[in-house]
Chain A
Amino acid sequence: MAIITRRGALAAGALTTIARPTLAQPRYPARPVQVIVPWGAGGGTDATARIVASLLEKEMGQPFNVVNRTGGSGVVGHSAIASAAPDGHTIGMITVEICMMHWQGLTELKRTSYTPLALMNEDPPGVQVNASSPYRDIKALADAIKASRPGQFKASGTGQGGIWHLALAGWLGAMGLAADHVRWVPSNGAAPAMQDLAAGGVDIVTCSVPEARAIIEAGRARSLAIMAPARNPQFAAVPTLNETLGINYSVGAWRGIAAPLNLPAPIAQALTAALQKVWNGQEFKDFMNARGFGMVWGDAAGFAQHMERTDTTLGAAMRSAGLVRG
């Protein structure tokens, strides 16, 4: 299997080197582009990738086909992007997990296995409590957590070692508490966690505000703060941790477009320019606002820096939560 792919890649490489001297540099993209999504069809990442792909198609005049490569908790799809031929005809949407999985020893892949093209979105975690919770604001909750015995408070939002678990661990660390001072109850995603919050099963849910939105709007839960540098204009009433507790801690679930390593610079620049047009366009804005997804932009260099920052922050949070392996 691997041999065939490698041989195919070699053949493709050989062909381009032969073709190059005789013809002028072929216009990119010369044929349809494959956009790999490491997560299942129908989810948030899939929807974002599909809107980006359909807008890129308009920008660049070739079909951009979304292909969901699921399996292995995202590892399969992420490695499919990294191991594709770096000719610009296979790109993919990579997610925050790329800065987490290698710490857990699940894969060799990390942020440096890709040519970053653009950061398209980031959703910071919020701190949600049940609507009938006695804690009216984040300060009251933080004081109560500090005064509690370890393990008294229970929080949820995703599986063990998932991004929202690390958000909690990092926040507790920033308050000078142990990462497991609030006990983490693993859940199968944000929606079941929010339901358990409404059912009175857990005290806190640290998922992103858009994920919690429906339950909040139904009056069953309240969002006390978000862990981001600035407020989200869509949920302007929710303050940041910095302005309330003076804790400058921010981490989020982001999505960006990347290509295999060693993508030729002209192609990378063309893609980043097209992605910037997409990001600035009204259609993308409408989509993101409708879904409540946070609009954060980073060009190739900005995306690389962003990933580096995430990698360090999450590595520290994972170490404090005892999740680093190998």
Chain B
Amino acid sequence: MNTALEAFAMVATTEVAIAILASAVYGMVIGALPGLTATMATALLVPVTFYLSPIAAMATIITSSAMAIFSGDIPGALMRIPGTPASAAYTDEAYAMTRKGQAETALGAALWFSAIGGIVGTVALMILAPALAEVALSFSTYEYFWLSFLGLMCATLVARSSPIKAIAAALLGLLVACVGIENPGGVPRFTFGSTDLLGGIEPLPALVGVFAVSEIMRAMTSPLPPPIPNRKLGSILGGQWALTRRYQKQMWRGNVIGVLIGALPGAGADMAAWVAYASSKRFSKEREKFGTGHPEGLVESGAANNSALAGGWVPALLFGIPGDTITAIAIGVLYMKGLNPGPTLFTEKASSMYALYIVFILANVLMIPLGIAMIRLSRHVLRAPRAAAMPLILLLCAVGAFAIGNNPFAVVLVAAFGVLGYLMERNGYPVAALVLGIVMGTMVEQNLVSSLIKSDGEVLPFFERPVSSVLAALTITALLWPAGVWVLRRLQPAHAAR
């Protein structure tokens, strides 16, 4: 009880309050700008944390990353341009809802289920941290191989086009992931002697290119669409309670997927959103509605990416192993502030830990009013004439890409992927599958090769370990399922004809 009171006292200072408020606004803005990610928002905060008390320093990181992951949904829903990679999985869905005149429901769902996801993730962190960390720590490269392979297979699930085209797009993504020296062999591949290609093609410029720039190109070549009825957005949270009741199962599943994937080092919120969207489509009773502006997938993946954010802190706090790129940065700050990660953090520094939990909850509660304000502000984007909005977005894309590493090459990449994305969309190839291929390709290869090196080329160890055998069974079932269904249909022609 005493530690809880101490924790409240640590949070209830002017410094922490200002830190939370300022970083909340900052995270909201960064996340909403295409090309600027939650990770970048966190990285830019590090020099600021030098001058803050430990709790205030951590509060800035926790708050800004949570806000950025949510507000990445805003440009996705309004303009089909995801603000952060974690929003990419359901951007098409949210945008379709906006076109149907349901922008407030789409954004409201993103906000409401993000906040719930964040709070559920925090509660899981409070109660289950040691158990979750134990699971995360038992994952070797064999388990990661199956997991990333399973993630890659989501490509055919999330796409609305034919599975063949989705697989082709994902394979193109895998090819892109081959570029560079960051592969298990440490050998430059497809670099053509270029220094810039040596580091490989990061998912972010590719993402900004295929989603944002291709959208701008489409706008240039297509006649002005019938304007979205210019009206005030309705109540943002109004319909959410009904959605919560209707899709309660999906919401919980999204939260569980988010916490589990978030807790696994190296996976993170982006992957959680993809897997949750795919699972909600796979298990939905109304699969045909997906992609046409149906909130079901939005509920599950919106909850998943924010709960993954909290899940990512589990291995970071207990073992100093980053759950995602955001906690990788946060670990450095933890050390600097004397909050060394490890089990002792939960015993010797218990009050600081409780204080961090309180900050987590506060940040997710604060997300709702701030999010509403942000949505109301950004609705004006829809009213702006297209000729004014598009060049500005293009400029933002270029600035965002440049800001990743102050490297002009990233801007060139964005442009190239814009053209690629435009051509793919024109011919019915889903760009989301391409992005998934780029994100997962490195993980699949790294874990496959590392596992094979460890097992001296034997395949058996992929199935021997308990967790990996379960994941292998899941993957292979998912892989063979469509073939099985096809064979069954063939065997019962009369049935199929009916």
Enumerate chain A interface residues (CB-CB to B < 8 A).
1, 40-44, 46-47, 50-51, 54, 66-73, 75-76, 79, 106-107, 151, 154, 156, 159-162, 183-188, 191-192, 194-196, 198-202, 213-215, 217-220, 287, 290-292, 323
Q: Are A199 and B140 in contact (CB under 8 A)?
A: yes
Interface of B is mostly: helix
What 0/1 pattern do residues 28 to 72 of B give for CB contact below 8 A with A?
A: 000000000001101110110010000000000000000000000
Shortest Cβ distance from B451 into A: residue: A201
Tell me which of A42, A43, A215 contacts B321 (CB under 8 A).
Answer: A215
Cα(A51)–Cα(B344), bound, Å: 27
Question: Provided the pairs A70-B405, A76-B405, A159-B184 are in contact, do residues A195 and B265 lie with their beta carbons within 8 angstroms?
Answer: yes
Shortest Cβ distance from B404 into A: residue: A70
How many inter-chain contacts with C-beta < 8 Å in the A-B complex?
Answer: 171
**Size category, B interface:** 35 or more
Cα(A183)–Cα(B322), bound, Å: 26
B381 at the interface (CB under 8 A from A): no
B229 at the interface (CB under 8 A from A): no
Which residues of A have CB within 8 Å of B196? Answer: 71-72, 76
Q: Are A191 and B141 in contact (CB under 8 A)?
A: no
Q: What are the 6 closest A-B residue pairs judged by CB atoms, nearest first?
A: A214-B320, A160-B186, A70-B405, A42-B329, A41-B43, A201-B140
B225 at the interface (CB under 8 A from A): no
Q: What would 16 A/B residue contacts be, using CB atoms closer than 8 Å?
A: A40-B43, A41-B46, A42-B329, A46-B43, A66-B47, A69-B405, A69-B406, A73-B199, A76-B199, A79-B195, A185-B453, A186-B186, A194-B321, A195-B139, A195-B319, A323-B186
Shortest Cβ distance from B328 into A: residue: A42
Cα(A114)–Cα(B406), bound, Å: 21
Shortest Cβ distance from A50 into B: residue: B47
Cα(A51)–Cα(B338), bound, Å: 16
Q: A71-B409, A75-B198 are in contact. List 15 more A-B contacts (CB 8 A).
A: A66-B47, A75-B195, A76-B407, A76-B409, A106-B181, A106-B188, A154-B454, A160-B184, A187-B446, A187-B450, A196-B140, A198-B319, A199-B138, A201-B141, A201-B454
Question: Provided the pairs A68-B405, A159-B184, A202-B454 are in contact, do residues A214 and B43 lie with their beta carbons within 8 angstroms?
Answer: no
Q: Are B195 and A107 in contact (CB under 8 A)?
A: yes
Cα(A291)–Cα(B334), bound, Å: 9
Q: Are B46 and A42 in contact (CB under 8 A)?
A: yes
Which residues of B have CB within 8 Å of A161? Answer: 186
Q: Are B321 and A44 in contact (CB under 8 A)?
A: no
Cα(A21)–Cα(B410), bound, Å: 43
Which residues of A have CB within 8 Å of B141? Answer: 185, 196, 201
Q: Are B453 and A290 in contact (CB under 8 A)?
A: no
Cα(A191)–Cα(B409), bound, Å: 29
B163 at the interface (CB under 8 A from A): no
Q: How far is the CB of A8 from chain B (nearest CB, A)?
A: 15
